[in-house]
Structure 1
Amino acid sequence: MLGAIGLDERQESAYRALVATGAAEVAELARRLALPEHDMEIALRRLERHGLAAPSPARAGRWVAAPPSLALGALLTQHRHELEQAELAAVLLAEEYRAESGKAAVHDLVEVVTGASTVSHRFRQLQIGAAEEVCALVTETPMAVTGPENKAEEEATTRGVRYRVVIEQAVLTAPGGIEELSAALGRDEQVRVIDKVPTKLVIADRDLAMVPLNAPAAEPAALVAHASGLLESLYGLFETVWRDAMPLALEAGGAVRAAGVPGPDVTDLRILSLLLAGMTDASVAKQLDLGLRTVQRRVKGLMEMSGVTTRLQLGWHAYERGWVARDAPRS
């Protein structure tokens, strides 16, 4: 628990033991924690450097604990300051990077990473650096690391990063596939399934995308695309696959099941028809005797249901799905 302020497990155990006893000799602490006295001496000296313990002035060989509220409070304040400075440095570097990216040469918009460990590291970096959303197309064979090894995904979802993942059918029958899917769904990730995905793909915040470069008898390699037309095309590919895929859900007993593609209700269809006829949100609300916020909320829900980000895309999606007819009479 105290690793965040620089203590390892042995040092934390020694400090906890000192706090519990108030004061103790090295030999006593070593017996209590089942450690060699030499190792305990080293741990206590490191606690002393942190200001958490000190040799007793009254008795040689005896150590006393510093008050936790005082000593730990000082360390926490120091680490908060260091984190604030690091956060400021990150913001400044991000601004500098964006400024340089705006005038980057074409060859700077893509990079090729080679080697299994390098690809795996870059894959984790994409997820660790994500702030809002990670989109992925997943095949039976992972891009870099398998689900149980992908701690970055778990950490990202804990930070509130949204995951939208499309898996191909073969993943459901792959060894450990159902267990990994259950874990992902348990973290509230949105997962859909389709017969076959066109390629492995990971996109972070629509800023970076990563696709594998497969060549026979070659070491693993991947292409990383920065903000560019290529990245937008890859994002468009993901959205197309996402719309055609079947959502998965977690049953009460923990089993994975197809949830069925959600569809609009009657009120949604009426709102869509009037909007496509050129009416404003306010006019639609008045026509259907609904609140303006209700109309806007339903439109937002339709966009999320369709996996689109603009109303223009929503109209196209509505026609493609047959939600509204192209020759429907205007209201």
Structure 2
Amino acid sequence: MLGAIGLDARQESAYRALVALGAAEVSDLAHRLALPETDTEHALRRLAQQGLAARSSAGEGRWVAAPPGVALGALLARQRADLERAELAATALADEYRAEAAEPAVHDLVEVVTGASAVARRSAQLRLGAADEICALVAAADGRPELRPGVAYRVVVERDALSRGMRELVGALGPEGRVRVVDQVPSGLVVADRALAMIPLTARDSGPAALVVHDCGLLHSLLGLFEAVWREALPLRLTPGGYEESAAGPDATDLEILSLLLAGMTDARVAKRLDLGLRTVQRRVKRLMELTGVTTRLQLGWHACARGWVARDPCG
């Protein structure tokens, strides 16, 4: 409990015992803690350095506890001040980094990370540094990606990667189709906030390695690769019996809605024409946008034509 203020388990036990007794001889406290007197004396000296204990005027070997409300409150206040200073320093360093990164040198745009611990550490930094969205392609050998609360995810997994861990992943990301499946991904890939990407490197007779790609043309190409795989992948939904892959394309009603929208009708006119509710039309359009991985209706119209979902005449 008190490890956050710098006490180890032995020191915390000594302080708790001293608080319970009010004051005690080193020998009595050592017996109570089942510790040698030298270790008990060392713990008490550490408590004295923290302002949690002091030698009693009644005798050289007698110690008294400082009132927890005062002593611990002072330590916590000091730690809060230290944290505030650390946050200010972190903000200043982040501003300095952004200023320096505004015009990075070409050789700094791609990092080569080698060694299992270095790759794991850099991967954790990438995930923890994301503020808005993480996009990932997960190969069968990659394992389940770790999720960070408060960040949106879009994940494409290889069908061979589906496992109990992936079942938990689908459940954690909810029913909105944020996990999709394909037979094979071209490469493992993680992209944070569309600003930083990490891809694994494999080489014969070498240990784990990865490329970290900063904002440059290569990053944009990797984003294009992710979006292309995302569009072709099938959404996954969690069911009581396992997984359920959504249909690869729209149904007959979806096709009618698309055709009428491409002909220039509003959502309300489409709903009236097909005897559907307005929300039903809008919900179906949203599902089609998620299915194709687009963000605008203009893009949806282009994909509908490209995939042969509608006649090309309405598309011009």
TM range (shorter): 0.7 to 0.9
Counterparts of 1:298-309 in structure 2, within 5 Å, are 303=289, 306-309=292-295
After superposition, residues 1-331 of structure 1 pair within 5 angstroms as 1-142=1-142, 153=146, 156-157=148-149, 160-172=150-162, 178-185=163-170, 187-188=172-173, 190-251=178-239, 256-258=242-244, 260=246, 276=262, 303=289, 306-320=292-306, 326-328=312-314
Taking the aligned partners of 2:52 and 2:252, their CA distance within structure 1 comes to 66
118-127 vs 267-276, which moves further: 267-276
CA deviation digits over 1:228-286, x for unaligned, max 9?
A: 1211221222222223333444456xx7423536988999888866765668xxx7569
Change (3 A) 1:229 1:51: same
**Cα deviation 1:293-318 (Å, max 9, x = unaligned):** 99999877765565434554444345
Offset of residue 203 of structure 1:
1.3
1:86 shift after superposition: 2.1
Q: What is the rounded CA distance, in whole Å, between the counterparts of 1:130 and 1:198 in structure 2?
A: 23
Name the CA distance, whole Å, in 1 between partners of 2:284 and 2:72. 50
- How far, CA to CA, are the matches of 1:82 and 1:293 in structure 2? 53
SS in 2 for 1:140: coil
SS at match of 2:89: helix
Q: Write the distance in 2 (CA, Å) between the matches of 1:303 and 1:188.
A: 18
One-letter amino acid matched to 2:151: V
Residue type of the alignment partner of 2:66: A
Conserved? CA contact 2:23–2:64, under 8 Å:
yes
Identity within the alignment, %: 63
CA distance in 1, matches of 2:17, 2:306: 67
SS state of the match for residue 64, structure 2? strand
- Asked whether the 8 Å contact 1:137–1:201 carries over to 2, the reply is yes
- Seen in structure 2, the aligned counterparts of structure 1 residues 258 and 308 have a Cα distance that, compared at 3 Å, is same
Give the whole-Å Cα distance in 1 for the aligned partners of 2:74 and 2:32: 28
Q: Measured at CA, do residues 17 and 304 of structure 1 come closer, stay the same or move farther in structure 2, by a change above 3 Å?
A: farther
**Whose Rg is larger?**
2
Partner Cα separation in structure 2 for residue 315 and residue 284 of structure 1: 14
Letter of the 1:316 partner, please give it: W
CA positional deviation for 1:82: 2.2
| Two-structure CA RMSD over aligned residues (Å) | 4.0
Cα deviation for residue 216 of structure 1 reads 1.9
CA distance in 2, matches of 1:184, 1:195: 18
Partner of 1:164, secondary structure, is strand
Question: What amino acid sits opposite 1:54 in the alignment?
Answer: A
Q: Is the 8 A contact 1:246 1:258 kept in 2?
A: no
State how far apart, in whole Å, the 2-side matches of 1:13 and 1:321 are. Answer: 69
TM-score, normalised to structure 1, is 0.73
Change (3 A) 1:284 1:257: closer
The one-letter amino acid of 2:246's match is: G
Q: Does the Cα contact within 8 Å between 2:305 and 2:315 map onto a contact in 1? A: no
Task: Tell me which amino acid in the other structure corresponds to 1:194.
Answer: V
**Normalized against structure 2, the TM-score is what?**
0.76
Secondary structure of residue in 1 paired with 2:124:
helix
How big is each residue's C-alpha offset from its partner over 1:31-59, in whole Å with a ceiling of 9 and x where there is no partner?
Answer: 44444443333333223222233333445
Residue 21 of structure 1 and its aligned partner are, at CA, apart by 4.2
1:251–1:284 Cα change, 3 Å: closer
CA contact (8 A) 1:248 1:256 kept: no
Q: Conserved in 2, the CA contact under 8 Å of 1:284 and 1:295? A: yes
Aligned length: 310
State how far apart, in whole Å, the 1-side matches of 2:23 and 2:65 are: 6
Kept in 1, the 8 Å contact 2:302–2:315? The answer is: no
Is there any run of 5+ residues in structure 2 with no aligned partner, and where? Answer: 273-277
The one-letter code sitting in structure 2 at the alignment partner of 1:181 is: M
CA distance in 1 between partners of 2:55 and 2:269 (Å): 79
